[in-house]
Structure 1
Amino acid sequence: MIRLDHVALYSSQIEVIRQFYEKYFGANANEKYINPRKGFESYFLSFAGGARLEIMQKVNVANGANPEGAEYLGLTHFALSVGSKEEVDALTDRLRAENYRVVGEPRTTGDGYYESVILDPDGNRVEIVA
């Protein structure tokens, strides 16, 4: 059986990103991996249900050319399920109140998801789905 194991993101602020996903999405981080020779650090964030997100920081990794929150070719978003429409609404409201950018208001999409779209501290698009 083939399954997606994890998705990885580079960040210039992995501690901020780690804390964001722990606080709002219940992620659990492993012990930080550090390779000083390569100037590399990473965490694996584990979510309920087995999904994992690797967040990485490395010296001399170029900043992407896409404007914050813009859609572009390649990986454009990932979705985290919170279980219900009420939880989508509540978490979206909480993130907005704490000054995170909501770029897609809660709604039912054409493919049947109830979702909102927010930007994480690095400007990555995150769908909050029921």
Structure 2
Amino acid sequence: MTELDHIALYTSQLEVIRHFYEKYFGATTNEKYVNPRKGFESYFLSFSGESRLEIMQKKTVANGANSEGTEYLGLTHFALSVGNKEEVVQLTERLRADGHKVVGEPRTTGDGYYESVVLDPDGNRVEIIAS
């Protein structure tokens, strides 16, 4: 059986992104990995269950050409399950109140998920779903 172990994202604001996922999604973080020779730093963020998000920073990685929050070919979003519909609504409103952009209001989608869509500080689309 194949399982998705983790998704990795490059960022230019490693500590801001780490704090965002810890604060709003309860991620726990490993000790920062630093490779000074390559100018590389990273964290693995763990969520309940086995899923992880690797966030990485490297000065030589160019900023993407995609506009904040736009959809494009390739990885376009990932979903984090927070429990139930009420928790989706509450977290969405908390993020909005804290100044984060909500690009999809809480709703039941055609494929049966109850979800909202927010942008993390780098503009990555994060679906907040009810499990």
Q: Shorter-normalised TM-score: what interval? A: over 0.9
AA partner of residue 86 (structure 2): E
Distance 2:23 2:4 in 1: 24
1:89-128 to 2 correspondence within 5 Å?
89-128=89-128
> Helix, strand or coil: the match of 2:70?
coil
> Helix, strand or coil: the match of 2:37?
coil
AA partner of residue 39 (structure 1): G
**Long gaps (5+) in structure 1:** none
TM-score by length of 1: 0.99
Deviation at 1:49, TM superposition (A): 1.2
AA partner of residue 26 (structure 1): G
1:6-50 deviation line (CA, Å, top 9, x unaligned) = 000000001000000000000000000000000000000000011
**Long gaps (5+) in structure 2:** none
> Helix, strand or coil: the match of 1:82?
strand
1:68-87 deviation line (CA, Å, top 9, x unaligned) = 00000000000000010000
Identity %: 80
1:79 maps to 79
1:30-109 to 2 correspondence within 5 Å?
30-109=30-109
Distance 2:88 2:129 in 1: 6
Q: In angstroms, what is the RMSD of aligned CA positions?
A: 0.4
Distance 1:3 1:96 in 2: 33
Distance 1:81 1:35 in 2: 32
1:9 maps to 9
1:26 aligns with 2:33: no
Aligned length: 130
- Runs (4 or more) in structure 1 with deviation over 4 Å come to none
